Structure 1
Amino acid sequence: MADQFFAAKIHSASEAARIDIRTDYDSHTYEPCDVPGPVAMGVRKLLRVFCLHYAALDFLVGESGEWHLIDVNPNG
């Protein structure tokens, strides 16, 4: 079970949810996605440095596909 990634894209259909995802949950759709290799390597290093066995991470993905880490939650 170790070293598994479970990732999903969240698409927000409303402008309000694009600004603050919490404002319009009904407009969201979800789909599984793959974590790019360099991002997965960075996550593994982050977990190792902080001595974590698990974390729920939030990313924003830019228009050109770059992933930006915005939140680390060690409790899910």
Structure 2
Amino acid sequence: MTSRYYFDAEKDGEVIRDECGVEADNISEIVEQAELGLEELRETLKLGEAEGWTIVVRDDRNTKLLRLSI
């Protein structure tokens, strides 16, 4: 069953919410998307600024499912 998942970026109380999300069928797809999000964040931020950021995956009910740190 396909569901929508959101990938928020968090650091030191700052939260950048993903308002669009992506659809995924299983946990493998969710992890893959989260890892892509981390890579994009690393590429966007300058060296040293990326440290401390975390991608938090939540579902459409706002339940946090997964945390991946840079």
Per the normalisation by structure 1, the TM-score is 0.28
Tell me which structure has the larger Cα radius of gyration.
1
Q: What TM-score does the superposition give when structure 2 sets the normalisation length?
A: 0.30
With a CA cutoff of 8 Å and minimum separation of 6, indicate the structure with the bigger relative contact order: 2
Q: Point out the structure with the larger strand share.
A: 2
